[in-house]
Structure 1
């Protein structure tokens, strides 16, 4: 790639270099891909909002001549983002309403969402937290989370903390460690989880020192955002290998996106390739009705059909759960094909993946 052809390999593997050299302007991006009018309009309009940010690693994955390249579609803004659609909201999951203290969302009885940062390595155009995420420092003052820690300490029913953002892996090692150390010191917190997109957007961030630090606070479960097979490559596999080899269980979170991964054969390939890099397919999300994302959303029937084409047609480990986040704070609601056709006293009429009918008698 012309823009990065003279980069020293040691610099390329330095995640700080990757961050310093992100593509942030139309002029820089034009050296990587042949921009369409729709992309140029989107970049212009997104300035000062959820702006353009693409790591050099991601840039190498983009097809310069294909506007429908799944990497381009996810990370390059389009003018369509600025068309208003009915039923869209800035906070469709009502996280702000369910936030008892800054940086914490408490919706489910035994678990909380801990928002550790507002920064990401690259900005997904379908981001459900686009009201929060953007060009803000990934360095938090030590006192920023004091209220969150105190709230968790005071609520003994909380046994599970999901650390998210932004992307928590954007924090420097010592800053993320401070959060982990404080949470591990709370006796009733049994489970720590971290949601990240870093193995896709910035795999160079997964260093030996970083993994060694994380391991001190094991077990930590990782939820990694993967949307398309094109995101999986040797460098991403290396990052996932380092995490898996050090005992970190990994699950995937995938957003169903129109024209990107809404075909059953694409989703099946993604699920198979995730298993090969030791990431267990976990969730497929219906794209949230967040403002500016109507062009990404598919009919709900599309997601149900994908599950129909996976269940029974491939390994059970390759079949995630399709969910819709109930608008207005309803939480994750699983949606699946109907395999139970009727139910009477002690008798169930069932359909298998081939459409054959069976009766089960209790």
Structure 2
């Protein structure tokens, strides 16, 4: 665990001269003292802006608010803040006011795919459940800028209950992703209630939580929270590290608690211009993630949300990064590069092309080194025409869990769990007569 370092001590003392390390590690203290305006940011970090910069920045904040935890602000390299990845993700930029004709308020059409307020039902068997509209930090690249940080959109318990009822009444939903905002901004008691309601629904097989708390406010991952979450397995956690600098000692401790709690932990990174659009940076990030038992899950192309054009890279940059990872590091360290399709088409994988050509009998492939090889197709594969007549299909369609306790022969007669008293050879004449 990291000590109360000089930068943290200085920021804490500027907030309150009596601040202690226990204050600093209190997630509620962090939220209470979040940085929400330019003057406060200047006071706590020592970074100053001239009058013209301030004027432009204030215009930005009139449209897109500011909220930075003291913890995350302490990670900014103040000597070179203009190029600092933590600063760029957390502090306002005048380029956010450059809204292009192609920018969209709701780029993923989440509102259109919402059969109930707070529910986005896009894929057949899973839903996104917006359970909070506030975050510990207002990320400058947020795809939900239209809602996040707006206190008028904080869902009540009654509204959440409506979402739960929708899920109860939609039996094809087997997977529920809690998102927001940040679900872990809810108090422990409400998280407990919400998970108990969802996991009690028979057709819900898995619940996921999307959170950036391990990155921007790792002290939120308390032992008490982990004990609550452990009651509701299987529970999957996805977080959002974008740069190796974010994997601090406190962040490592947060993901350690989650991993030790038995939760599979994944990471969704957004490709951001001048933040992580570099093969070296991305490789270091995925290595730090897997070293801390976090599986790289998605690498997102930056969405077409309003004011994000300065963050967007060409898709070719993402392909270049994927080429630097595939084959050059462990397969489980490689995320899937996706574009979340504008208009609500869902996540579309965009990967380098490794199939050069193919014919009836051969596929021509290339590997990460540029080596070209062939794979021989089978000569006698009988293509199975599927007419959806499952009753008469000769495939084994019994997909229930196999019984590991099946016993045979003498073992079967000896087993206390089995009532058989004899073994009868097949086609025993006497028993055949009985059947007649």
Q: TM-score range by the shorter chain?
A: over 0.9
Deviation of 1:142 after TM superposition, in Å, equals: 2.2
Q: Is the 8 A contact 1:24 1:51 kept in 2?
A: yes
Deviation of 1:273 after TM superposition, in Å, equals: 0.2
Q: Which residue number corresponds to residue 132 of structure 1?
A: 147
Whether 1:27 aligns to 2:35 is no
Deviation of 1:13 after TM superposition, in Å, equals: 1.0
Deviation of 1:179 after TM superposition, in Å, equals: 1.2
Deviation of 1:54 after TM superposition, in Å, equals: 0.6
Secondary structure of the 2:300 match is: strand
Q: Is the 8 A contact 1:156 1:188 kept in 2?
A: yes
Label 1:90 to 1:33 Cα distance change in 2 as closer, same or farther (>3 A): farther
| Partner Cα separation in structure 1 for residue 105 and residue 29 of structure 2 | 33
Secondary structure of the 2:365 match is: strand
| Partner Cα separation in structure 1 for residue 141 and residue 321 of structure 2 | 20
| Partner Cα separation in structure 1 for residue 53 and residue 197 of structure 2 | 43
Deviation of 1:41 after TM superposition, in Å, equals: 4.7
Label 1:39 to 1:231 Cα distance change in 2 as closer, same or farther (>3 A): farther
Counterpart selection for 1:165 from 169, 180, 183: 180
Deviation of 1:287 after TM superposition, in Å, equals: 0.1
Label 1:42 to 1:101 Cα distance change in 2 as closer, same or farther (>3 A): farther
After superposing the two structures, state which structure 1 stretch, 63-72 or 45-54, moved more.
45-54
Q: Which residue number corresponds to residue 12 of structure 2?
A: 4
After superposing the two structures, state which structure 1 stretch, 38-47 or 152-161, moved more.
38-47
Secondary structure of the 1:72 match is: helix
Label 1:151 to 1:39 Cα distance change in 2 as closer, same or farther (>3 A): farther
Deviation of 1:28 after TM superposition, in Å, equals: 1.2
Once the two structures are superposed, what CA deviation does each residue of 1:17-70 show, in whole Å capped at 9, x if it has no partner? 000111111111112042455863553023344311110110110011221100
Once the two structures are superposed, what CA deviation does each residue of 1:160-191 show, in whole Å capped at 9, x if it has no partner? 00000000011100111111111011100001
Secondary structure of the 1:4 match is: helix
Secondary structure of the 2:225 match is: helix
Unpaired runs of at least 5, structure 1: none
* Structural mapping, 1:116-195, within 5 Å: 116-136=131-151, 140-195=155-210
| Partner Cα separation in structure 2 for residue 16 and residue 267 of structure 1 | 32
Whether 1:237 aligns to 2:252 is yes
| Partner Cα separation in structure 2 for residue 141 and residue 329 of structure 1 | 26
Q: Is the 8 A contact 2:236 2:264 kept in 1?
A: yes
Q: Is the 8 A contact 1:109 1:158 kept in 2?
A: yes
Label 1:77 to 1:103 Cα distance change in 2 as closer, same or farther (>3 A): same
Deviation of 1:146 after TM superposition, in Å, equals: 2.1
Secondary structure of the 1:16 match is: helix
- Provide the alpha-carbon RMSD of the alignment: 1.5
Q: Which residue number corresponds to residue 77 of structure 2?
A: 63
Q: Is the 8 A contact 1:119 1:133 kept in 2?
A: yes
Q: Count residues in correspondence.
A: 362
Larger radius of gyration: 2
Counterpart selection for 1:311 from 279, 304, 326: 326
| Partner Cα separation in structure 2 for residue 220 and residue 264 of structure 1 | 32
Secondary structure of the 2:23 match is: helix
Deviation of 1:139 after TM superposition, in Å, equals: 6.8
Whether 1:262 aligns to 2:277 is yes
| Partner Cα separation in structure 1 for residue 53 and residue 79 of structure 2 | 13
Counterpart selection for 1:97 from 112, 115, 119: 112
Q: Which residue number corresponds to residue 68 of structure 2?
A: 54
Counterpart selection for 2:57 from 43, 46, 49: 43
Identify which of structures 1 and 2 has the higher relative contact order when contacts are C-alpha pairs closer than 8 Å and 6+ apart: 1
After superposing the two structures, state which structure 1 stretch, 332-341 or 23-32, moved more.
23-32
| Partner Cα separation in structure 2 for residue 207 and residue 216 of structure 1 | 15
Once the two structures are superposed, what CA deviation does each residue of 1:259-295 show, in whole Å capped at 9, x if it has no partner? 0000000000000000111100010000001010000
Once the two structures are superposed, what CA deviation does each residue of 1:96-146 show, in whole Å capped at 9, x if it has no partner? 000000100000000000000000000100100010101428975321112
Q: Is the 8 A contact 1:232 1:273 kept in 2?
A: yes
State the TM-score, normalizing by the size of structure 2.
0.81
Deviation of 1:151 after TM superposition, in Å, equals: 1.2
Label 1:36 to 1:318 Cα distance change in 2 as closer, same or farther (>3 A): farther
Whether 1:281 aligns to 2:289 is no
